[in-house]
Amino acid sequence: MNDFINDFWPILINVISLGGILGCVLLLWKTSKIKVTKSKDGTSGHVWDEDLKEMNNPLPLWWVRLFVITIVFGLVYLSLYPGLGRYDGQLGWTKNKQYDKEIAEA
């Protein structure tokens, strides 16, 4: 992705990509620090339609683990492949190399 004619687009791509991952990390970190007080009946105190009560259950642990795996996968992917502006990735993968490889195999 070295076809950019100025520095604006690579910087914008980097900010959006890394900002999204950083936002996920901050969301996970901030929400893990919240201590919820438990009521006697186990609800959050919100009531809809006069009798529908919202239970106060924590996020399932497998969801949290999946969230962490997604963050790690995103960082590994961006380091190995060209996903950040002008950064070519550690593997040096390009669509042209992939195309040449497939043509040679055909």
Confidence (pLDDT) at 2: 60
Evaluate whether residue 43 is within a structural domain. no
Evaluate whether residue 45 is within a structural domain. no
| HEC per residue, the chain | CCCCCCCHHHHHHHHHHHHHHHHHHHHHHHHHCCCCCCCCCCEEEEEECCCEEEECCCCCHHHHHHHHHHHHHHHHHHHHCCCECCECCCCCCCHHHHHHHHHHHC
Q: Is 70 exceeded by the pLDDT of residue 4?
A: no
Q: Is 70 exceeded by the pLDDT of residue 101?
A: yes
pLDDT per position as a tens digit, 23-66: 999 999 998 887 777 777 777 777 888 888 877 777 889 999 99
* Share of residues in the chain with pLDDT > 70 (%): 96
* Residue numbers of the domain that contains 17: 8-36+54-105
How many domains does the chain fold into? Answer: 1
